[in-house]
Amino acid sequence: MKRSFEPIWLALPFPAFVIAAEGVIAEVNDAAEGFCMASRKQMLGRLLVHFAGVGSAVEDAVAQAQGGMRSVVLHDVKVGWGGQARGLANVQVTRLGEGEVLLMMHPRSIADKMDRSLLHRNAARSVAGMAAMLAHEIRNPLAGISGAAQLLRGGLSAEDQELTAVIEDEAKRIGDLVNRVEAFGEMGPGVIEPVNIHDIIDRAKRAAAAGFAAHMHFKDAFDPSIPPTAGSADQLLQVIINLLKNAAEASPNSGVITIKTTFRPGVKLSLPGKRSQSLPIEISVRDNGPGIALSILDDVFEPFVSTKASGTGLGLALVSKIMADHGGVVDCKTDANGTEFRLLLPVWKGEEH
Ligand SMILES: Nc1ncnc2c1ncn2[C@@H]1O[C@H](COP(=O)(O)OP(=O)(O)OP(=O)(O)O)[C@@H](O)[C@H]1O
Ligand SMILES: [Mg+2]
């Protein structure tokens, strides 16, 4: 049976193009028309560079495939079309033969990030369950250990007392860790009130500058038109403090932390099965440190992922959980020149929350 692939081609849910030998667009599917905001007629027969831009990552990937590479995949590249930015996408180019290549783009939508953020939330839930069990299993023997160390202390020389002090201190450290992990389970969104994010950022900045970020230089750019968000001020404060702490720890000698707020009333998020949600409040915390280590980049929001000798790896897991509890999103961009965490939050809509 001979089968026409045309309906399948047209129905592909992501933009796809066939590019002929001289870089001419030979075919486009429906999703490509939507993504590029141009019709088939406008695109067929025209040069790809005319739309994608000379020297663009897309042109480069196509040239590599036409030059002999079987398949080229670029992750998270900036894609433009007709001089307009179209956001980040994964770009894949595969050779079809005779100089022809198939160009596919997988745009990274905010919904995609939201999905990931929900995944982190599940990770946090599994931590909560484990924490409850651990807390129970660890606390009792721990109390026994520090109690016994205290009893021992009485009959010992000063030198040996130092050792019992180590036992007590370390037992306390384990106890603190258990409490911190356990806090995951107990924390919900709590009381929801209107929160002025600039007050929160100021409080976090003052705490940071007086302590762990004393060696950092702060810059900010606040959008004064931002209305209050809906949530718990204390929890949002923890979010900002965790981000500032990571930024300060990434630059142990000195560095710059830039905090920017923006109001984008157009930003909407739609998830399957849920009504679309508006997340117009954006907070960005950027540092000029060395960037997140590639080995953990995909898992930074997972609990217990840390590259620090004394880190618990719970900071960003907590950030992610609090943001999910607030109906918001967190994502991050990082390279060798620094790291930026971006928070998107909803607006306070009166008592209906
Ligand atoms: N701004 C940043 N620059 C570079 N790396 C970062 C940055 N923020 C986070 N990371 C990396 O992500 C890891 C996880 O961060 P997270 O805050 O979850 O845990 P932690 O800072 O290691 O420990 P804790 O927050 O419990 O003290 C860090 O160990 C670090 O490697
Ligand atoms: Mg941290």
Residues 6+ apart with CB under 8 A from 145: 167, 171
- The rounded Å distance from CA 351 to ligand 2 centre is 34
Sign of CA dihedral 148, 154, 157, 158: positive
Q: Which residue, 261, 251, 177, 179, is CA-closest to 219?
A: 261
Q: Which residue, 176, 207, 185, is CA-closest to 310?
A: 176
Q: Which residues have a beta carbon within 5 Å of ligand 2, which is an ion?
A: 246, 315
Q: What does the pLDDT look like over 101-144, one tens digit per residue?
A: 999 988 776 556 655 666 666 666 666 666 767 777 788 888 88
Q: How confident is the model at residue 187 (pLDDT cuts 50, 70, 90)?
A: low
Q: How confident is the model at residue 273 (pLDDT cuts 50, 70, 90)?
A: low
Decide: 258 in ligand 1 pocket, CB within 6 A.
Answer: no
- Tell me the CATH number for domain 111-186: 1.10.287
Answering whether pTM is above 0.75, one says no
* Mean pLDDT, residues 224-229 taken together: 94
Name the residue of 308, 314, 318, 341 to mutate for ligand 1: max ligand atoms within 8 A of Cβ: 308
d(C-alpha 150, C-alpha 7), whole Å = 77
Question: What CATH topology corresponds to 6-108?
Answer: Beta-Lactamase (3.30.450)
Q: Is 339 strand, coil or helix? A: strand
Q: What is the DSSP string of 2-68?
A: ----HHHHHH-SS-EEEE-TTSBEEEE-HHHHHHHT--HHHHTTSBHHHHH-TT-HHHHHHHHHHTT
- The rounded Å distance from CA 263 to ligand 2 centre is 27
Asked if the domains 6-108 and 111-186 are classified in one and the same CATH topology, the answer is no
Q: At what angle do helices 315-325 and 158-186 cross, to 10 degrees?
A: 20
d(C-alpha 216, C-alpha 4), whole Å = 62
Do 81 and 96 touch, CB atoms closer than 8 A? no
Domain range summary for the chain, segments of one domain joined by +:
6-108, 111-186, 193-352
- The rounded Å distance from CA 247 to ligand 1 centre is 8
- The rounded Å distance from CA 312 to ligand 1 centre is 9
Question: What CATH topology corresponds to 193-352?
Answer: Heat Shock Protein 90 (3.30.565)
